[in-house]
Amino acid sequence: MLQVGIIGGAGYTAGELIRLLLHHQKAEIKFVYSTSNAGNKVSLIHQDMEGSINLKFTDTINPEVDVLFLCLGHGNSTVFLDNNSFSKTTKIIDLSNDFRLKKDKVFDGKTFVYGLPELHKDKIKATNYIANPGCFATALLLAILPLADKGLLQGEVHINAVTGATGAGTSLSKTTHFTWRDNNFSYYKPFTHQHLAEIHQTINQLQNSFNSKINFMPNRGNFSRGIFATTYTKFNGSLEEAKSIYNDFYQDAAFTFMSDNDVHLKQVVNTNKCLLHLHKHDDKLLITSAIDNLLKGASGQAIQNMNLMFGFEETEGLQLKANFF
């Protein structure tokens, strides 16, 4: 059994990691680290764990764990690793943005691999350090990577995507308060969202000639979880040709699937799936992508990466059913 440590244990991503690991046949949670909750039962914070786990939060670490998940706020993973040491054999999966960009991927002698399994599966299997992709980045990259792989991104890409309230984390703010979010809809960080950097970087790995704008409009939805994104760009081929490109690209993907029907959030929430749908209009290709922001966009993908790193079945612990009704 893998011995697992979780740092930053009180947040949404940590809560989902704990839930997934409790049902993972090859892993065991050794500790959940949270300085603000040390001594409290994990189920006091993650109330969906009542009756499922007796573990308490701790403010001490076990440096000999097999795998460490960092569920810290952006910028805090580097601080934590500066102040804490782990075994040379401990594999690290970071869920922040600290190591996703090329300029940040080497830290204290550790080289982090961008953990998008649909693109970097072989690299993930061979590394000890993973930078888990951002939630929006996952949904948007999976929508356009097949085109980039064929050098078919022509001109600007236009994206409109909406995320649930859990994407903002557990800290309360004006725009996460129930009375503001309920029956409401708004955009934020138009054209400047922080995930654009990792999206451009990853696209250029496949199509280094791409230098057009990605016009990304992120929106806040009045629901708890999920990302629904519509992306369109110029495409001169037929719809059948586009479907062939996408089906070929994802033929070996464990969790990314093409649908001939319109997709919606209820198909993916509580799963590690990404569902994609294509629609052609004149010279534009519309790609719809849908994921659960806390699973395929965060903790589920982190477990998927762990499975690949340790040679387990990629789907271990992730065979989840959507809450369709």
Distance (Å) of CA 183 to CA 166, 258, 318: 16, 31, 32
- Catalytic, out of 14, 20, 42, 135: 135
Residue 84 tokens, joined: 């804490």
Which residue is it, tokens 């997934």? Answer: 20
Torsion sign over Cα 75, 76, 80, 81: negative
How far is it, in rounded angstroms, from Cα 308 to Cα 236?
Answer: 37
Q: Name, in order, each residue with C-beta under 8 angstroms of 305's C-beta and a sequence gap of 6 or more.
A: 93, 115, 117, 124, 130, 132
* Residue 135 falls in which region: left (phi positive, over 0), alpha (psi -120 to 50) or beta: alpha
Q: Name, in order, each residue with C-beta under 8 angstroms of 297's C-beta and a sequence gap of 6 or more.
A: 133, 134, 135, 136, 138, 139, 167, 227, 291
Known catalytic residue: 135? Answer: yes
> E strand or H helix at 107, and its extent?
strand 106-107
How far is it, in rounded angstroms, from Cα 50 to Cα 83?
Answer: 33
Active site residues: 135
